Amino acid sequence: MHTHRRLIVNTALMTGSSIVMRCIALVFQAWLVGHIGAAGIGLYQLVLSVSVLFATFAISGIRFAATRLISEEMGLERGAGVTGAMRRCACYALFFGLCAGTLVYFLAEPVGFLWIGDARTVRSLRITSISLPCIALSAVMDGYFTASGRVWKPTLVHLLEQLVSITCVMWFLSLAAAGDLEQSCAAVTAGGACADVVSLLLMTAMYALDRRKYRRGGDTVPHLTRRMLSVALPLAVFSLWDHALLAAPHTRTDGERFSAAGRANATACTLYAAEHVTKVPLGSNNVWDGGWTAGTMDGSALARARRTLRALHEAGLLCDDSYAAALSVCRLDYGSWELYTAPCGLTQLVRRPEEIYTGTDTEHVYIQLILSGDDAPLYFNYQNDLGQGATLADDAVAHYCALLGLDEFTDWQYPDWGTAVRDFGAAGYSETAQVYAVANAGGYSVTLSAASMTPQTFAALNTQYGEETS
């Protein structure tokens, strides 16, 4: 009867605490979105997806193994078995936790550049490496208290952990530079890491007080290590397989292999990741093709749009009339503006004209911008059905590549496909950067776009549309 009552109490406690923690998390997430924006949340989610995979490796099935092993020893009333099981589980967790932390720390750059596709995640990944041993050891403590039937202790610790995390995140964000997504993401990650450390310290302290009830002395229980490994390792394999399938990076062929120079360039790296890793479309219909999440348009987003328009104008990619018309609609109270975010730090800003046109005003202006985390215009489409002077400067592609920060590459080819492709403007390709850039202008529109393209794909296009290059 006592056991039955304890089961009911523990179940009610876990359910109630879960509801409370979820409510706190929802309120805090709403606050966080308001402070770092949808783009910041998106960047943190990318870090989190990788962190979860490595945390799974750090834990490697030890929580369940500890629960089972310790409950068996407690049932047999073998104090030496309990302490022996805890010692082995802690060593197992420490080994895998340190391995996971070391891997994350030293692989942060390739993971951030090639897997996630955003260099701004590197710092956050390295912060994550600190917390992984703590997470692994806390899993052992969690298993112990679950086996002993006192789930209220880890439940209380998890609640305190959440409060510590919120407090630390708010403090770290107050120290971060406003609008700096890299610092904001690192602040959120650091807050979580601090909470993991505090959680481990509290759990360890409670266990230290608890273990006094068990008999001291040598470990006389046979096969503890074998029993632990027989439970933990199969669970570790299946858990890692499951998470790896969800977070598996793109497997590249030899022809798609990215050059070291390309990896060192932020824009080229972002384009490569969008195409091959996260598979976020960057074409004219990309919002409906998938990969994008709707966000809230605000003044800071419009400021980014205005800065980009000015840069395009100064580079000769947007004429005076088009620039003036585009700039005039960069107001929250003018027309329908939409904001979308996607992995790799991408932000899309869309201004749709009003359904009812009046005279010759700027209600006819359509703008679509896709910006990288560094505000490089990876895609730009301007339309005005009044036909306001849509022209491009000479060497438009070269100017566009310079604006994207791709002018450091010296292997640009400029194919001449005008006889084979209707309304062909100008294009350029760099095999080193694996970037294909296009600039087009008509009587009503200007389109600039950049995308990652393998040498094989470009060679096939060049074969199809003509071999002439300048």
- pLDDT tens digits, one per residue of 25-78: 777 777 777 777 766 777 787 888 888 889 988 988 888 888 888 888 887 777
More confident residue, 180 or 106: 106
pLDDT of residue 311: 92
pLDDT of residue 217: 47
Instruction: Tell me the mean pLDDT in the region 400-419.
Output: 86
pLDDT of residue 168: 92
Proportion of the chain above pLDDT 70, given as a percent? 78
User: Binning pLDDT at 50, 70 and 90, where does residue 285 land?
Assistant: low
- The CA distance from 451 to 434, in Å, is 8
Are the C-beta atoms of 42 and 341 separated by less than 8 Å? Answer: yes
Query: How far from chain centre, in Å, is Cα 7?
Result: 39
Domains of the chain by residue range:
2-247, 262-465
β-bridge pairing 293-295 and 336-342:
antiparallel
- Find which of 10-24, 210-224, 361-375, 445-459 is predicted with most confidence, using mean pLDDT: 445-459
Say how many C-beta atoms besides its own lie within 10 A of residue 383's C-beta: 17
- Residue 218's Cβ-count burial label (10 Å; 0-12, 13-18, 19+) is exposed
Q: Which residue has the tokens 């022996």?
A: 84
User: Binning pLDDT at 50, 70 and 90, where does residue 331 land?
Assistant: confident
pLDDT of residue 211: 74
